A and B are shown apart, each in its own frame.
Chain A
Amino acid sequence: METIVFSLLNGVIYGLLLFMLSSGLTLIFSMMGVLNFAHASFYMLGAYFAYTISDASSFWLALVFAPILVGLVGAAVERWGLRTVHVNGHVAELLFTFGLAYLIDEVVKIIWGRNAVDYQIPELLDFPLFELFGAQYPAYRIFTLFVALAMLVALWFILNRTRAGLIIQAALSHPHMVGHLGHNVPRIFMTVFGVGCALAGLAGVIGGNYLVTDPAMAVQMGPIVFVVVVVGGLGSLMGAFLAAMLLGLLQTFAVAIDANFADMFGWLGLSPTSEVGRISIASLAPMIPFLMLVLILMVRPRGLLGDREL
């Protein structure tokens, strides 16, 4: 019972964090066709900016300004980087973001050092919210949950209920038509790229002290974010949401389950002492995202809710 409750909570929170990261990537990918390899680096930047700001002032200022800063950096990258590279085609853009990821990595190492920085949870939220089955549940985790939900609602509202959202959605599928209607499509692209990066930055702000803020965080998170986007389906925010939750839950449940292959497949005659029978479900957890990726590409190449083939 406690396993289920804890895994549900942890899974949902991790899933929401993943969604926050991948929503920006999905937006950028579906609109500009750019697979932004540097997306996780913006997540890292968010965490580092938040660390610096909260060190100098307070976490709450960081919560507001770090994502904005990251968004501005993202917009600048689009305006002066990607846009110039764009004329050379998608491969050039891909390579550009690839290089950018390394560049950001190195810059972060130069500025903040190679080690984890002491980015701490704000004191106001540094208390156990409740105790469940003997284990305390940190309030900050629940706070993360609410921030992610608020972002989810806001994003949904902007995209579906406002004029700006309407234009963005139109620019996603018919950029030329939107341009002919008199909208400044490059500016829309820049805004979307900036907002996408800001969302990643926000994920960094609340994920950086929930996990650890170190120069390796981008490299660790990067592949998983891609899995979410591909599994969810290109261009589908809802799909990304589903994929992120699915991944978060599957991974945490896998860790929590105390069983090995022999327990599951014992009826096939698999003995608990054999090589295969000894493999525990928990040890498979980090493999799950990639297993999902492979399976989904085989069974349903356009992803859970995608409307385009890869």
Chain B
Amino acid sequence: MKLVKSAALAAAIAFVSTAGASAESLKIAFIDPLSGPFGPSGQAGLNEWNYAAAQINAKGGVGGQEVEIIGLDNKVNPKESLVQLQKAIDQGVRFIAQGNGSSVASALIDAIEKHNKRNPGQEVLFINYAAVDPAFTNERCNFWHFRFDADADMKMEAVTDWVKGQDSIKKVYIIGQDYSFGKAVAAAAVKNLGEKRPDIEIVGNELHPLGKVKDFTPYIQKIISSGADAIITGNWGADMVLMIKAAIDSGYKGPILTYYGGSKGAATAMGAAAVGQVKAIVEHNTNLQLSDAQTAYVDGYEAAYPEDNYYYHRIHNAMNMLAMAADKAGSTEPKAIAFALEGMTYEGPTGTLTMREDNHQILQPLFMSTFSDNVTRGVEKLPLGWVSGDADRIEADATRTETTCKMERPS
């Protein structure tokens, strides 16, 4: 009986405290992997959200409200994510941030749309900072979803533009993770190469299971015996680290064109052997010539989280645009913020960013980065890092792709 009483009391206190907190703080639920093979990727994301929140709070928060990040582990599992989403909504959270895994994003988009339809006045906004399946801003576009990362097609445009100028590349091997994102990358690669370099032969187009392969050597040996001059991959997390390690160990010499060569742990696995060989298409790297303010921001992050490197610049962008939207709307209601975000431009550290009104896709400058040993700022405590020259900058407008989105807006 005593137990029941104290439990009830605890529940009451918990309820009162959350109710009290929600009156003054703006809560963002971060639903991403915080354990397992993709745990490091998710944890780094959470750290940057927390840092971005602390920075924006120091400047007065979002719409005058203090931002609070709630980290929820979904183990890159869509089903688990929906449980966490419900948990977040029950706590009164109105903003969801997620990025690792388009499979998860897909489930969240559907669930949030349903929730918003059924609960007018209680809408939830989805801030997608890394799930890049192009479908989300095309045939499956949704008013409540905003993407702050370039989608798989936009990144592939940049990658294939680089390949276009490399006459020595005659054979390309495409390898990726077996889910919607990996398939999107492969499809984009095949399409773009066919248009830009029809002479290139695609000697392999393979998908491997997500997060389950421990030794990529058999895949790499297959790639080498196919005679490929370049590898294109969208792999991230452990799949990136292990694949690149196997490639270096097996003496693969051609360029490896990645989306997420900056995945945590990859630099360590690559070591000096991969210098000049691995490239990544990103919205930011820490060796760009940027303003002092941005340098201080990066320094502050790396001092606060010494085991991390600044990587998800798009989180910084998302947080700042959220604050701008709240100011513009004069409200922190998700619906008002969503309308304010549409078409909004933001002068970010890397240039001007625009949130497209027609499909809620961000346009931002992209950089083709190369793994280098000539860096001012290394990653993972190594004298190695990512650099890009002037020619490697792709202007925001040049990344624009056609969209099939027919946005339905709430009245």
Contact = CB atoms under 8 A, between A and B. Distances in A.
Given A10-B217, A212-B241, A212-B242, A138 B225 contact: no
B39 A114 contact: yes
A280 B40 CA distance: 30
Given A138-B250, A216-B37, A282-B206, A256 B214 contact: no
Contacts of A214: 37, 40, 238, 265
Contacts of A252: 218
Contacts of A221: 214
Contacts, number: 102
B224 interface: yes
Interface stretch (A129-137, A145-153, A197-205): A129-137
B215 A10 contact: yes
A14 B39 contact: no
A77 interface: no
B215 A211 contact: yes
Interface string B15-32: 000000000000000000
B230 interface: no
A6 B250 CA distance: 11
Contacts of A14: 215
A290 to B, nearest CB: 11
Interface string A245-276: 00000001001101000000000000000000
Chain A interface category by residue count: 35 or more
B161 interface: no
A113 interface: yes
A285 to B, nearest CB: 7
B265 A216 contact: no
A203 B385 CA distance: 32
Given A116-B40, A135-B251, A212-B238, A256 B218 contact: yes
B220 interface: yes
Contacts of A256: 218, 221-222
B204 to A, nearest CB: 8
A128 B209 CA distance: 28
A307 interface: no
Contacts of A116: 40, 241, 264-265, 268-269
B409 interface: no
Nearest to B273: A126
B218 A6 contact: yes
B251 A136 contact: yes
B222 A258 contact: yes
Query: What is the interface of chain A mostly: helix, strand, loop, or mixed?
Result: mixed
Contact of B221 (A6, A118, A140, A258): A6
Interface in A27-68: none
A99 interface: no
B208 A211 contact: no
Chain B interface category by residue count: 35 or more
Nearest to B39: A114
A37 B40 CA distance: 24
B207 interface: yes
A114 B40 contact: yes
B190 to A, nearest CB: 15
Nearest to A116: B265
Given A118-B268, A286-B209, A113 B307 contact: yes
Contact of A216 (B39, B178, B224, B227): B39
Interface string B245-277: 100011110000000000011001101000000
A165 B221 CA distance: 42
B180 interface: no
A68 B227 CA distance: 44
A200 B214 CA distance: 17
A137 B250 CA distance: 6
B371 to A, nearest CB: 16
A216 B43 CA distance: 14
B60 interface: no
A3 interface: yes
A6 B209 CA distance: 21
A184 interface: no
Nearest to B264: A115
Contacts of B213: 255, 285-286
A26 interface: no
Most buried by B among A6, A7, A252: A6
B346 interface: no
B225 A133 contact: yes
A216 B238 contact: yes
A40 B139 CA distance: 45
A65 B43 CA distance: 33
Contacts of B212: 286
Contacts of B245: 212
A280 B176 CA distance: 14
A219 B217 CA distance: 21
A255 B219 contact: yes
B36 A219 contact: yes
B59 to A, nearest CB: 30
A129 B205 CA distance: 29
Contact of B208 (A2, A134, A141, A282): A282
Interface string A277-294: 000101101100000000
Most buried by A among B204, B206, B222: B222
Nearest to A254: B218
Contacts of B178: 283
A133 B209 CA distance: 26
A297 to B, nearest CB: 22
Contacts of A113: 307
B43 A114 contact: yes
A221 B215 CA distance: 12
A286 B216 CA distance: 12
21 contacts: A114-B43, A115-B40, A116-B264, A116-B265, A116-B269, A120-B271, A134-B224, A135-B225, A135-B252, A136-B250, A138-B249, A212-B241, A212-B242, A219-B36, A255-B213, A255-B222, A258-B222, A282-B208, A283-B207, A285-B213, A286-B209
Given A210-B215, A255-B222, 5 more contacts: A114-B40, A134-B224, A135-B252, A212-B214, A212-B269
